[in-house]
Structure 1
Amino acid sequence: DPQGRISDYGKMFTQVTNVWRKSDEVRRFLFSRRFARIAAELMGVHGVRLYHDQALIKEPGGKPTPWHQDYYYWPLDTEHTITMWMPLVDVPREMGTMSFVQGSHKNTAFQQLPISETSQAYFETVIDEQKSKICSYSLKAGDATFHSGRTLHAAQANASSNRREVITIIFYADGTRIKEPDNHHQKVDMEVFHPGQKPGEIAASELNPLLYAQF
Structure 2
Amino acid sequence: DTYGKAFLQIMNLWRVDQDTKKYVFAKRFAKIAADLLGVDNVRLYHDQALYKEPGGGPTPWHQDQYYWPIDTHDTITMWMPLVDIDVEMGMLTFASKSFDKGAVFNNEISDESETAFDDYVKEQGFEITRAETMKAGDATFHRGFTIHKAPGNNSNTMREVMTVIYIADGAKITPPINKYQADDHRKWLDEKPVGGLVDSELNPKLL
Query: Is the pair's TM-score, using the shorter chain for normalization, greater than 0.5?
Result: yes
1:148 & 1:162 partners in 2: Cα distance?
28
Structure 2 counterpart of 1:48: 42
Kindly tell me: are residues 206 and 119 of structure 1, through their superposed partners in 2, closer, same or farther at Cα, counting changes over 3 Å? same
Deviations for 1:142-187, whole angstroms, at most 9, x for unmatched residues? 0000000000000000000000000000000111110011111001
1:179 & 1:125 partners in 2: Cα distance?
29
Question: Which of 23, 30, 51 lines up with 1:29 in the alignment?
Answer: 23
1:130 & 1:21 partners in 2: Cα distance?
41
Contact in 1 for aligned 2:103/2:145 (Cα 8 Å): no
Greater shift, 157-166 or 132-141, is seen at 132-141
**Where in structure 1 are there 5+ consecutive unaligned residues?**
1-7
Contact in 1 for aligned 2:10/2:50 (Cα 8 Å): yes
* Matched letter for residue 18 of structure 1: N
1:66 & 1:75 partners in 2: Cα distance?
21
Q: TM-score, normalised by structure 1?
A: 0.93
Shift of residue 109, structure 1, vs aligned partner: 5.9
Question: Which of 148, 153, 173 lines up with 1:153 in the alignment?
Answer: 148
Structure 2 counterpart of 1:181: 176
Question: Which of 176, 186, 197 lines up with 1:191 in the alignment?
Answer: 186
**Where in structure 2 are there 5+ consecutive unaligned residues?**
none
Counterpart secondary structure, 1:40: helix
1:88 & 1:110 partners in 2: Cα distance?
31
Q: TM-score, normalised by structure 2?
A: 0.96
Answering whether residue 172 of structure 2 is matched by residue 164 of structure 1, we say no
1:158 & 1:60 partners in 2: Cα distance?
5
How many percent identity over aligned positions?
A: 50
Answering whether residue 108 of structure 2 is matched by residue 114 of structure 1, we say yes
Greater shift, 123-132 or 60-69, is seen at 123-132
Shift of residue 191, structure 1, vs aligned partner: 0.4
Q: How does 1:59-138 map to 2 (within 5 A)?
A: 59-108=53-102, 110-137=104-131, 138=133
Contact in 1 for aligned 2:3/2:57 (Cα 8 Å): no
User: Stretches of 4+ moved more than 2 A in 1?
Assistant: none
Counterpart secondary structure, 2:80: strand
Shift of residue 131, structure 1, vs aligned partner: 2.4
Shift of residue 102, structure 1, vs aligned partner: 0.9
Shift of residue 47, structure 1, vs aligned partner: 0.6
Shift of residue 9, structure 1, vs aligned partner: 4.6
Structure 1 counterpart of 2:10: 16
1:151 & 1:127 partners in 2: Cα distance?
11
Contact in 1 for aligned 2:3/2:60 (Cα 8 Å): no
- The count of corresponding residues between Structure 1 and Structure 2 is 205
Structure 2 counterpart of 1:206: 201
